[in-house]
Amino acid sequence: MLSRVLVLAVTISVPGVSLVGSAGATPKENAPSTEAAPLDRVGYRSAPGAQVLGDPVVRPGSDDVAFFEQTGAATELVVCLHGAEPARWPLPAQASRLRIFWTGPTELSLGTEILAPKMIVRWRVTRG
């Protein structure tokens, strides 16, 4: 049986580095987090009124981090790569219940288990 995977696309450009990505999104409830250390390592500060949901997930062997963030009713997947501006993908609110898995240096899987993705997020890093 084939499963359906939601695919989103986005291009993000930042001075010096740009992330060009596509996203392909049951459930773990993500509550607001007090985890700051992984976000401090990449120099990330949430905007006023924004709230990190759940624990940020650090890519093994690096300081790169991915997490869900909510501002008002908007939910986003945020990926912070060391030395780059954060990349953001808007998501439906229910997607924040999924777990984040790093499946490569430029790929994430969102789902209930690593082998059962509901969304796959891929990007390319380019110097601008």
Q: Is residue 67 part of a domain?
A: yes
User: Which stretch of DSSP H or E encloses residue 37?
Assistant: helix 37-41
Is the pLDDT confidence value at 51 over 80? yes
CA distance 68 to 85: 16
- Evaluate whether residue 1 is within a structural domain: no
Expressed as residue numbers, the domain containing 75 is: 8-127
pLDDT in tens, 70-116: 999 999 999 999 888 899 999 998 999 999 999 999 999 999 999 99
Position 32 pLDDT exceeds 80: no
In a domain, 37, yes or no: yes
Residue 101 corresponds to which tokens in the numbers above? 């898995």
* Distance from C-alpha of 67 to C-alpha of 39, rounded to nearest angstrom: 9
Rounded CA-CA distance 61/22 in Å is 23
Which residues does 79 contact at the CB level (< 8 Å), separation at least 6? 19, 64, 65, 66, 86, 87, 88, 108, 121, 123
Query: Could you tell me if residue 2 is inside a domain?
Result: no
Mean pLDDT of the chain: 79
Asked whether the predicted pLDDT for residue 23 surpasses 80, the reply is no
- 3 is a domain residue: no
If one compares 44 and 19, the residue with the highest pLDDT of the two is 44
Structural domain count of the chain: 1
Whether residue 83 lies inside any domain: the answer is yes
